[in-house]
Amino acid sequence: MVLFTYTVSYFFFITQLLNVIDGASSSLEHLSVTSDGREELEKTALLCIRMIEVALEKQEQFVDMFRSVPQQSAVMVSPLEDLLLSVNPQSSSPDYLLKIMKFISHLHAGAELNLSVIKILCLVCQSVTVQRHLVNLLTANQLEINEPEDRNEKDEQELGKEFIDEKSYGVSQIRNAVRQKCTEINIAFTTAPVSYLAHFLMGYELRKPVAKTNLQDPGKLGQLVHDSDEQLVAEGVLGASKTCLHAVLDILNRGVDTHHGPSCVTETSKFAELAYQLIYSLCANKDTATPTLRYLRTSHDFLYRHLQHLPFKNLVSMDTVEGQTPVPMLTAVSQQSWLLKTAAIELRMTAQGRQRSHAQRLLGLLMANHLLRQS
């Protein structure tokens, strides 16, 4: 009887928690930044999201401890991600995860709220079932994530601060933590055997083989073609205005055409390391290699523009100022390592494809840098 009462109470608590999240997610869509009660509603949503986040972080340890007690071994314990896949009585569909993710799409949502949502996404998507469910939800419900121009400018000014501790509540630090966490998620999912969510977030084709994706710049839809169901579909990034890949490339390319080189190498060194690793992971993956390298080559001339600034230790020494925390040399070396590994894959692919001019151009740049360092 005690166990039954506990189970009912716990289920009621989770239900109430999810109801609050559902209501807050829907209400914030219609409230402006100056609306009465918005700040309190967002704080309430943050506390509820944090409870979900902490529960997901600790549930494995709890389940192990629970099952270690002999008299409890026969009791079935459902993981929280299964409860998040249950039907929402408010909408009559299993959209709790979508409601949680929608907080990211709100125009003025706080950085702390975004970070907690990203952490939840990382934790629940360890399950392939959840990944498939979430991709289906996101495909059916397009999320429009638009940021005001002044917020983008503010982020650029604050990129110099690396994330240290979320409890410091520094807005710039938390925003950088969100970027790093998003990049880590994509790296983890890209290297996983099944990566539905990574392919979706990075803008790869889901309705046909990933290798046939035609990546394009934001705002440019591909040519309309007939798919197997005789419906017109747009090639490229599923009609999305911007993907995680575009966002990563935008940050990596800032300052790349100046003599100072990519600003993120020194201003957000940890993020730059993760970003170069993500690019390498996409180029090393058999499914995403061809479309990724083609896009980097034709739309951004990415490798040539970045390789000309090697070695990165010169950029680090150039931008080091008194009173500023220096970039760890190991981080700079790691950034350079991921970039060179990507270049090696590109050289192999272009050589196999008999693209001599492009291969010679990259080799000429690398050899020139090598000879310059020796002179």
Mind listing the pLDDT tens digit for each residue in 89-138?
A: 888 888 888 888 888 877 667 788 888 888 888 888 887 888 888 888 77
At residue 343, the pLDDT reads 94
Most confident region among 23-27, 239-243, 269-273, 316-320 by mean pLDDT: 269-273
pLDDT at 237 over 90: no
Mean pLDDT for the chain overall? 76
C-alpha 250: how far from chain center: 14
How confident is residue 344, by pLDDT bands cut at 50, 70 and 90? very high
Q: Are 213 and 205 in contact (CB under 8 A)?
A: yes
Instruction: Give the residue from 315, 246, 316, 309 showing the smallest Cα distance to 282.
Output: 246
Banded model confidence at residue 144, pLDDT cuts 50, 70, 90: low
Q: What are the tokens at 373?
A: 């360092």
Q: CA distances (Å), 75 to each of 14, 55, 60, 293, 356, in order?
A: 19, 19, 15, 51, 65
pTM, to two decimals: 0.77
- Give the range among 11-25, 34-48, 100-114, 260-274 with minimum mean pLDDT: 100-114
pLDDT at position 242: 79
End-to-end CA distance of the chain, in Å?
A: 82
Quote the tokens at residue 330: 């190991």
Q: What is the pLDDT of residue 281?
A: 94
Structure confidence by residue, pLDDT tens digits, 49-87: 998 888 888 888 877 777 777 665 566 677 788 888 888
Express as a percent the part of the chain with pLDDT over 70: 75
Q: Which residues pair with 233 in a beta bridge?
A: 225
As a whole number, mean pLDDT of residues 202-214 equals 86
Supply the pLDDT for residue 74. Answer: 61
Q: Report the alpha-carbon distance of residue 113 to residue 306 in Å, rounded.
A: 34
Q: Is the pLDDT of residue 226 over 50?
A: no
- pLDDT for position 339: 94
